[in-house]
Each structure stands twice: as structure tokens, then as C-alpha cells.
Structure 1
Amino acid sequence: MRGSSLATRLFLSATAWVVVILAITGIVLSSVYRQASERAFDRRLNLYLRTLVAEVATPDEPPERQFQSLGEPLFDLPLSGWYWQIARTDTDKLELRASRSLWDRKLSRLEEQGVELTAAGVRQGYVDGPEGQNLRMVERPVDLGADGKFLVTVAGDATEIFEETRTFDYYLAGTFLALSIGLVLTTIFQVRFGLAPLKRISDSIADIRSGRAERLEGEFPVEIAPLARETNALIDANRKIVERARTHVGNLAHAIKTPLSVIINEAAAHPGDAFAAKVLEQADVMRDQVTHHLQRARIAARLTVVGTVTEVAPVIEALRRTMEKIHRERCIAIDVEAAAAAKFRGERQDLEEMVGNLVDNACKWAEARVFIEVALEPAGAADPGAVLRIMVDDDGRGLSAAERAQVLRRGQRLDESKPGSGLGLSIVTDLAALYGGSLKLGEAPIGGLRAELLLPGV
């Protein structure tokens, strides 16, 4: 049940237990009822058996009137399934008396099947009858001393037992089926409404993560309220930590940039000094590194804030207008095709920096056209969330595979005649990685370079 919800697992578990318990209970009850039916049937057979034994032990009646007091007409109906038989066992010559229902047949003996005598001195069991009936039989050996030894047997059609048991099983199955349905419906009700507060918390956390809410709101049961309270406390603590991190980053930026500015100003006051020129060169490198790492620290701090969401289309449109003004002299046409519902799970200024670097780079290398396409791909089975795909194409000369790998490295420039420091694409790569995204370079359908930026979307 991998990936299944808690409600589904609870429901399946409860249903399985209900089925197992009812099945075991049904088997036990059916077995008990069958044994009760057999005991009732045996009492009836034993009544006839005792009557026959009394007749054998006190043969006061004439032979033609013996064994007429059983009171069961089925003993006179041929092959009815109800039989009695008296056999003498102390002589080699078979002396046999039997009910009219047996005709010229005879009954099997339980003794021959290895059935032992009970404490009451009888044997009980099932045998096959003359017409293939399944008979329930009781037999009792009787020792009359000088009058001889006899084996008295009474058998009845066991169909009565089986039909009674089968009827009971049908009623039992119907009752348990109705009970199972009732229990399953009760379980569904309990799982559905009992776990509803957890579903509300899950939906509320999803709203916080997507930026639609800031805290868990609403009333929760007393069992769930502590979870909601601690979750809100965790969100508040997280925001305070982020604020402190932002403050420290700002203080560090101010503390480092001010001495660097002093060093640069002092070195610039000696333009002809080789040492001053070296200081200026290294100070510029230091300033770039400080800016880069402070930017990473600032972004990392912002990424811990839950629920920041930015609409993409307005950002792209604003960048288009800005870039058209910047590159007005080259008459670069910037076309945009952006999904109106696309949203970026992050802050606006980070999206502006990443896309701005890509569009600015495309405008520098384009001949006449830049095309920006924004698409939002919904979450799939293997993806935890939606993917925002931003593609920036130009119609310039493009780059080879080796050149594409080179320009992604920090500070690498292919053409020194183009303005810039060579940090743009590497900054985009770093920022995208901090958000769990990536930057890919390839060939654009319009002939130049395609920069494909993948970011978390909403």
C-alpha cells in the first residue's frame, strides 16, 4: 500500500479485521450448530435404540408383535433411510432381524470402521446406506449371558442434519453479510469524519506553502489542536530566524563594502602606481566575490520563508519593456508568450534577476529577435510540485556544446567586445540551484541560443 493515504490504510485494515473476525465467528457458529443438530438427532436414535434393547432383553411379546412399539412409520417404508437391525454375534450362523425398510439389505457396522465405544457403551458415526444415503448410526452391543450376545443398530437419514445445518448457514451468512455492510459503512463514516481535521490541516499547510495563507486557521478538535498550535509556532519561529538572517546579511554587507570602497578610493588616487593598480584589480575581484556570496546568503535566507509566490507574466512583461528601452538602438523585437496562471514559488526580485540576466544576454547576441515563452507543467507522479519552464530564445549565431559549457562557468566571456562581467549566467545558475531549479543551454528554433530555466511553480 505504498503511497496510500492514512484513511485508506485504516479503512482497509478495519475491513480486513471485520472480514476475518466474522469469518471465524461464522465457522465456529456453524460447527457448534452442526454438533447440536447431531446431538439432537442422536438423542432420537438412542431413544429407538433403548426401546430395541429392551425388546431384546425382555422378549415377552410373541415374535409377530415384537418391535412394534417404536412409533416410527418410516421403519416400515422400504428403503426410507430409517432402519434398525439386530444381529446375534456369539454364533457363526448369522441370526439377523431388521426393520421392513431394509428389505433384504443389511447395515454396515461401525465396529468394522474402528469406531470405539463411548462411555455410555454405544458407537456413533456415519455410514453409507443401502440406497447410497448418508446415514447417522448408533449401535450398542448387548450381552444377555446364556441368552446370547447381540448388536443392536439404529440408523437415520443424515440429510436432515445436513439440511438443518445448511439452512442455518444460509441465515448466518445473510445476517453476517448485513452486519459486515453495516460495520464497513460505520468504519467509512468514522474514518472519513474522524480524520477530517487532519485533512484540513494538510490542505491548510498546502495553502501556506503555495502562498494562499500564512497560518493554520479555524477550530480543531482537542486531539488535533496541539498539532495546529505547534505548527503555527514553528512558522512564526521560522520567520523570526529569517528576519535575523537578513539583518545579519545586511550588516555584513555594510561592514565589508565600506572598507573596500575606502581601499578602492585610495588606490584610485595613485593612477600611475603599479601597486595601486594591483590593489584596484584585486579589490574589484573582492567586491564581486562579496556581492556574489552575500547574494547567495540573502537568497538562502529568503528560501526558508514559507508561502512566497510571484506571478510570472507581469514580471516578464516589465522586463520586456525595460530591455526594449535598453537595446532601443539595435531595434531588437522581444516577443512574449506567457501562461497567465503561471506562478513562481519564490520572491519577485529573484525571478527578475534570473530572467533579466537571460533576456539581457539574449538581446546582446540577437540579430533582430528575442522570444520568451513561459509554461507551467503540473505536478506528475514523480514530481513533488509543478514546474515553471521559462525559455529565452534569440536569433543570433548560437553557441557550440563546448562554448555552452564554458559560458556557464563563473566569469567566462566568449567575446570581450560585448559589455558585461561574465557573471550573468553563473548567477542565474546559482540562484536557480538555490530554488531547486536548473539552467540549460541549447539550440533555439529561431536559429540562435536557447536558455531554458526550470523553477518551482504553483
Structure 2
Amino acid sequence: MQPPNERPNRRASSLATRLFVSATAWVVVILLITGVVLSSVYRSASERAFDRRLNLYLRTLVADVATPDEPPDKQMQSLGEPLFELPLSGWYWQVTRNDGEKPDVKSSRSLWDKKLPNLEEHGNELTAAGIRIGYVDGPEGQSLRMVERPVDLGADGKYLVMVAGDASEIFEETRAFDYYLGGTFAALSVVLVLTTIFQVRFGLAPLKRISDAIADIRSGRAERLEGEFPVEIAPLARETNALIDANREIVERARTHVGNLAHAIKTPLSVIVNEASSRGGDPLAAKVLEQAEVMRDQVAHHLERARIAARLTIIGTVTEVAPAIEALRRTMEKIHRDRGVVIDVEADTSAKFRGERQDLEEMAGNLVDNACKWAESRVFIEVLVERAGNAGMRSGVEAGPLLRIIVDDDGRGLSPAERAQVSRRGQRLDESKPGSGLGLSIVVDLAALYGGNLTLGSAPIGGLRAELVLPGV
């Protein structure tokens, strides 16, 4: 048996966890995709801005190349960028006339004695504007963003005009953008995760209320789902209450049918017994009386099982164990007063049985009655509560709070074979003792109906130990 709150709450928390993980995963995926797209867009924008700057210098150089009549001291001097004068600055221009036997190369002072690589040789194709754009390695290993344009002036010659800039500007700007973007998205992720946690917990709060209320019904603290629920959850609460009402109605009908059947069978049996009793010396009458008693015992036993099985379907029945055991002790001491048997009880006052009191009294009463019949002078009853999950696995009962009722006597005890025999219906070891032999079998059957069990062993005080394990609260 599971604890009243554990399983529903675990299911609710599992749903909350799944929703939270799913929402968080989607948030992370969306932010990652958005971050990659924004970084790519910003890098493209930075490259376009850089390319516009390079193209401005390129058009200026092309204009200078196209005006060969310009005095030599004025040519290539109109770029207005000091970095072209600084050696190996990362900003370079180069004009190559390649229609002669030996190319004539003019370059910026920043190139010093170096030359720029050719984009055509790197596989870059001409764009619709008639230029090539790409990244190349510079003279000092710098990464350069370069633009080049072939210029054909006819009789005035063919030129290749190239302008290159330090691409680290693009990379640094993109890196700075990525850094700030990552920080912003990290903060946004935290806010979104916290918002998701709040929404999941707030959204599932009504379900948790329902699970707690159902746990209260199972443990006997409530009979119905009470309170106001959101419109989306209210139908679930109504149907649950309707199911509980229908269950009670079915159980009540079953009880009525069991009572009617008991009355219908007992009356013919009583007639048979009376008729047979009136023929005292007839062997047939004696046999009829014997079998009628067997039938009466069997009918009582199975009707009791049917009654218990019907009652077990009622939700929320809980019995205090200590008062029931104490009342049972007083009753048994009166019944066995002539034998002088002392009954000691040590019961956990917090022990509760998940079932009806009369069923607990019937099971415990059979065990105590048997112990008193076989005891020499003493019977000891101990009631324990085990709340550990492993206890259920050790006893064979479903994990959860367990109620253990241990009845020891100081009689002669039983061998393993005798223990197996007395657990079978109608089996008695000593015909001199009163009873029908159904006591322990009834206990075994009723305990099984509640998901519990009965084990027999040796008692520390010398006789038989009967240990009854039942679902607790």
C-alpha cells in the first residue's frame, strides 16, 4: 500500500518536472537559434559596412588609374587614409599594370616591399559589379578583407586595382556583439526559466490540490473533493465526486444482496438441522447434521469474505488500532479467565489500520483466541508501525506504511509442517480444543483481501508467534 500523499504528489511533481524541462528546452533552443541568426546577421552587416569603405577607396584608385594625365605627384594621393602610409598597418592598396612583359606594380607605403595576393588565384569570382571580394592572408599573417577590380583602359593598358583592410575590425566587432548578445540572452534565459517555473507551479496548483484531496479521501480524512476549482479542472472534480458516490451506491447494493443471500440460505439450513435433530438415533440424521454444520461454516465463511470484499471498495475507512486491541484484550481475559492466562499489550498509539474496525477485530481476535487456547500462562500482543519503503518489500505488501500485529504465546509451539497445516481451512491439530478449524484460514483470507499476510514462527517466550501484516496509514 502506498502512502496517501506520496503517489499522487509524485505524479503531479513528475508532470510539473516534464513541463518545466520541456519549456526550458524550448526556451534554450529558441534562444540559441535566435543568437546564431542575430550573430550571423550582424557579421554580414559588419562585412557590408567594411566593404562599402573598401569600395570607396577602390573607386578612388580606379578614378586615379583612369586619369593618367594627372601629375605623378598627385596620383594615388587622394585616399585620405593615414593607415595606408603606416608600414604593415593592415591597410593596403596595390595597382598592377599587367599588359606588358613585366607587370608594373604601384602600392601603398604601408605594404613596404610586400605584395598582395590575387583573389582570382584564390578562386573568387567576379560579382555583378565587376569586382572580387574575399578574405586573404596579409603580409604579416593578418587576415585581410580585400576587394579587387580589373580595369581595361584599352590602349592605355590593363590594370588590376586592389584594396585591403584589416579584417580584425570585423572579427572584433562581431566578437563584442556576440559577448553582449550572450550576456543579454543569459539574463533573458534566467528570467524566462523563472517565469516558466512560476507558470508551471501556478498552472498545476489546482491539480496538486486535487491530488492532495484524493489522498485525504483515501486516508479517511475527507469524503469528497471540496472547494472551488478553475473552469478547466472543475469537470474532473465533479466526475471524481460522482465516481465516489457511484462506488458507495454499488457497495451498499452489494451489502444488501449479501444480507439477503445469508438470510435465504440460513433459513433452509436451520430447517434441515431441526429435522435431523428430531431423529437422534438415525445414522442418516447424524450424517445430515454433520454435513449441515460443515455447510453452515462454509456459508458463513464465504459470506463473510463477500461482505469484506464489498466493504474494501469503500474509500477512506481508517481504524485506530490501540483501542481495538485493548478492548480485545479485556474480552479475551474474561473468556479465558478459568485458565488464568495473562495478556500483555504493547501498542503504538499512532497505529492506524486502513480498513474497518470489525475486520481488524475479527483477524486479531482469531489470533489472540488461538494463542489463549494454547498458552500455558501468558500471551503477549505487540503492535508496530513501519514507515520505511523497504518494509513493504520485506513483507510482500506493497511499499508504504505497514501495520504489524504480533501475537506470541508460551505454549508448546508448532513445527513447520504443523504451521502449514493449521493455515488450511478446517484443519485442526487437537480435536479436544473448541473451534471449527476455520480461524486461521479466515485471518489469511481477510489479510490477503487487504493486501496483507500472516506468517507463523517461533515466539521468544517459547510458543507460537503469529505476525499479521496489514496496510497502515
Measure how far apart 1:126 and its partner are.
0.8
- The aligned residue for residue 458 of structure 2 is 443
Q: 2:328 aligns with which of 319, 329, 343?
A: 319
Q: Does 1:262 align with 2:268?
A: no
- The aligned residue for residue 106 of structure 2 is 97
- The aligned residue for residue 64 of structure 2 is 55
Q: For residues 11 and 106 of structure 2, what CA distance do their matches in structure 1 show?
A: 73
Give the AA of the match of 2:216.
D
- The aligned residue for residue 431 of structure 1 is 446
What is the SS of the residue equivalent to 2:73?
Answer: helix
Alignment of 1:195-206 (within 5 A): 195-206=204-215
- The aligned residue for residue 145 of structure 1 is 154
Give the AA of the match of 1:438.
N
What is the SS of the residue equivalent to 1:283?
Answer: helix
Alignment of 1:274-293 (within 5 A): 274-293=283-302
Q: Which moved more, 1:391-400 or 1:422-431?
A: 391-400
User: Normalization by structure 2: what TM-score?
Assistant: 0.94
Q: For residues 134 and 386 of structure 2, what CA distance do their matches in structure 1 show?
A: 75
Q: 2:371 aligns with which of 362, 384, 393?
A: 362
- The aligned residue for residue 78 of structure 1 is 87
- The aligned residue for residue 345 of structure 1 is 354
Measure how far apart 1:454 and its partner are.
1.2
- The aligned residue for residue 239 of structure 2 is 230
Q: 1:296 aligns with which of 291, 305, 312?
A: 305
Q: Does 1:385 align with 2:394?
A: no
Which one scores higher on RCO, CA 8 angstroms, separation ≥ 6?
Answer: 2
Q: Which moved more, 1:63-72 or 1:305-314?
A: 63-72
Q: 1:150 to 1:253 in 2, by over 3 A?
A: same
Q: Which moved more, 1:358-367 or 1:378-387?
A: 378-387
Unaligned segments of structure 2, at least 5 residues = 1-9, 391-396
Q: 2:467 aligns with which of 422, 447, 452?
A: 452
Measure how far apart 1:55 and its partner are.
0.9
Q: For residues 305 and 101 of structure 2, what CA distance do their matches in structure 1 show?
A: 112
Measure how far apart 1:379 and its partner are.
5.6
Q: Does 1:416 align with 2:418?
A: no
What is the SS of the residue equivalent to 1:370?
Answer: strand
Aligned length, in residue pairs: 458
Q: For residues 277 and 151 of structure 1, what CA distance do their matches in structure 2 show?
A: 132
Measure how far apart 1:233 and its partner are.
1.0
- The aligned residue for residue 166 of structure 1 is 175
Q: For residues 24 and 174 of structure 2, what CA distance do their matches in structure 1 show?
A: 27
Q: For residues 243 and 452 of structure 1, what CA distance do their matches in structure 2 show?
A: 32
Give the AA of the match of 2:18.
R
Q: For residues 376 and 134 of structure 2, what CA distance do their matches in structure 1 show?
A: 104
Q: Which moved more, 1:160-169 or 1:267-276?
A: 160-169
What is the SS of the residue equivalent to 1:375?
Answer: strand
- The aligned residue for residue 18 of structure 1 is 27
Q: For residues 380 and 32 of structure 2, what CA distance do their matches in structure 1 show?
A: 68
Measure how far apart 1:329 and its partner are.
2.5
Report Cα offsets for 1:238-281 as digits up to 9, x if no partner.
11111111111111111110110111011001110011111101
Q: Does 1:336 align with 2:351?
A: no
Measure how far apart 1:310 and its partner are.
0.3
- The aligned residue for residue 133 of structure 1 is 142
Report Cα offsets for 1:135-162 as digits up to 9, x if no partner.
1111111112222222111110111111
Unaligned segments of structure 1, at least 5 residues = none
Q: For residues 381 and 118 of structure 2, what CA distance do their matches in structure 1 show?
A: 99
Give the AA of the match of 1:40.
A
Give the AA of the match of 1:33.
Y
Alignment of 1:236-247 (within 5 A): 236-247=245-256
Q: For residues 384 and 123 of structure 1, what CA distance do their matches in structure 2 show?
A: 76
Q: For residues 106 and 383 of structure 1, what CA distance do their matches in structure 2 show?
A: 84
Give the AA of the match of 2:124.
V
Q: 1:89 to 1:259 in 2, by over 3 A?
A: same
Q: For residues 342 and 273 of structure 1, what CA distance do their matches in structure 2 show?
A: 54
What is the SS of the residue equivalent to 2:144?
Answer: strand
What is the SS of the residue equivalent to 1:110?
Answer: coil
Q: Does 1:402 align with 2:411?
A: no
Q: For residues 246 and 76 of structure 1, what CA distance do their matches in structure 2 show?
A: 107
Measure how far apart 1:178 and its partner are.
2.0
Q: For residues 371 and 104 of structure 1, what CA distance do their matches in structure 2 show?
A: 109
Report Cα offsets for 1:144-198 as digits up to 9, x if no partner.
2222222111110111111111111122112212221221122111111111111
User: Normalization by structure 1: what TM-score?
Assistant: 0.97
- The aligned residue for residue 50 of structure 2 is 41
What is the SS of the residue equivalent to 1:214?
Answer: coil
Measure how far apart 1:43 and its partner are.
0.5
What is the identity percentage for the equivalent residue pairs of Structure 1 and Structure 2? 83
Give the AA of the match of 1:5.
S
Measure how far apart 1:321 and its partner are.
1.4
What is the SS of the residue equivalent to 1:306?
Answer: coil
Report Cα offsets for 1:58-97 as digits up to 9, x if no partner.
1222222211100100000011110011122233423211
Give the AA of the match of 2:322.
A
Q: 1:383 to 1:122 in 2, by over 3 A?
A: farther
Say if 2:12 and 2:208, in contact at 8 Å, map to a contact too: no
Measure how far apart 1:380 and its partner are.
2.2
What is the SS of the residue equivalent to 1:336?
Answer: strand
Measure how far apart 1:6 and its partner are.
1.0
Give the AA of the match of 2:447.
A
Q: Which moved more, 1:323-332 or 1:93-102?
A: 323-332
